[in-house]
């Protein structure tokens, strides 16, 4: 079913492009919060997706999200070493 595959692929690409824009993150949080998806409070999902959250000490933290590439998160082992 090549047409179904193509339609699904383009839907995923469109959704990722939409989600990449930080201004849409609150709207996405509201869409995935209901019981039939994540069943979580909208406020919590907004904090996770936007990177703005209270730190428990009376301060509001603003963490950049979505800008770390996979390559920078990958640990590279030197030859002969092993993970701990």
Residue range 12-35: mean pLDDT, rounded? 95
Higher pLDDT, 69 or 81: 81
Task: Report the pLDDT value the prediction gives residue 81, as an integer from 0 to 100.
Answer: 53
For the chain, the structural domain boundaries read: 2-64
Each residue's pLDDT tens digit, 47-72: 999 988 888 888 888 886 433 333 33
pTM above 0.75, yes or no: no
Higher pLDDT, 7 or 65: 7
How many angstroms separate the CA atoms of 39 and 64, rounded? 25
Task: Report the pLDDT value the prediction gives residue 54, as an integer from 0 to 100.
Answer: 85
């Amino acid at each position: 079913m090549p047409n179904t595959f193509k339609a699904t692929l383009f839907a995923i690409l469109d959704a990722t492009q939409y989600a990449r824009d930080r201004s849409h993150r609150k709207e996405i949080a509201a869409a995935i919060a209901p019981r039939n998806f994540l069943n979580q409070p909208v406020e919590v999902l907004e904090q996770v997706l936007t990177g703005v959250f209270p730190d428990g000490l009376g301060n509001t933290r603003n963490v950049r999200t979505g800008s770390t590439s996979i390559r920078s998160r990958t640990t590279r082992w030197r030859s002969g070493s092993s993970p701990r």
